[in-house]
Amino acid sequence: MTVLPGTDAPTDRPAADGARPGRRSLEELLAATAHGDQAAFAEVYDRVAGRVLTTALAVVRDRSLAEDVAQEALLDVWRNAARYQRERGGAWGWVLRITHRRAVDRVRHEQALTAREERFQRSDAELLHDPVAEYVDRAADGETVLAGLDSLTPLQREAITLAYYEGLSYPQVARQLDVPLGTVKTRMRDGLKRLRGRFGHLGARGTA
């Protein structure tokens, strides 16, 4: 038998949408749950789990994510049963509002992760195709390049030197300097912008 995290309430019973004749109402079960009645919560789970999952799935559009959201929502019901106030609306509406809020939060979280990953990918592409970086990588005039590097901050110079002269990958540079990968990318980007201002025209001539 499985249980919800932080409770002893079983979660492997078949879900049902309505109370059986002679059983307590959902409102009464929530009131009992608020006092720590785990048997009451197990019955709440039986009644609402199916619709909670359906509601979550309608928002997140992914079965696996919907199952996670449903579990989180049911845990919220267990933890916050004492906050339910009958005079403010029915128990079903309260449970499904919790579910909907959890589902919307998950969608926003997933969208933020996707947007962050896309930003990193764009940043990597900019670094890999930067014309100044290409010039630095193959420039014949070593003194000009070194002069340009001398115009950088020590941290920018370290990152660019390790990447373009020692051939280290960005993760390797991060480990070498003992800094986060995102910091390395920022140093590289800022350093290359400064180099562009110093001898970007040479890079353009070198690629002609």
The helix/strand/coil state of 3 is strand
Nearest to 82 by CA among 126, 41, 124: 41
Look-up of token digits 């002893």: 8
Check: CB of residue 47 under 8 Å from CB of residue 16: yes
Residue 33: what pLDDT? 96
Residue 206: what pLDDT? 43
Q: Which domains does the chain have, with CATH numbers?
A: 26-115 (1.10.1740.10), 130-206 (1.10.10.10)
User: What residues does 10 pair with on adjacent strands?
Assistant: 3
Please identify every stretch of the chain with a pLDDT value under 70, giving residue numbers as ranges: 1-22, 116-148, 165, 196-208
Residue 182: what pLDDT? 81
On average, the pLDDT of the chain sits at 76
Residue 199: what pLDDT? 60
Residue 134: what pLDDT? 54
Residue 27: what pLDDT? 95
Residue 104: what pLDDT? 93
Burial of 161 (0-12, 13-18, 19+ CB in 10 A): middle
Residue 185: what pLDDT? 81
The helix/strand/coil state of 156 is helix
Read out DSSP for 37-54? -HHHHHHHHHHHHHHHHH
User: Rounded to 10 degrees, what is the CA torsion of 192, 197, 198, 199?
Assistant: 80
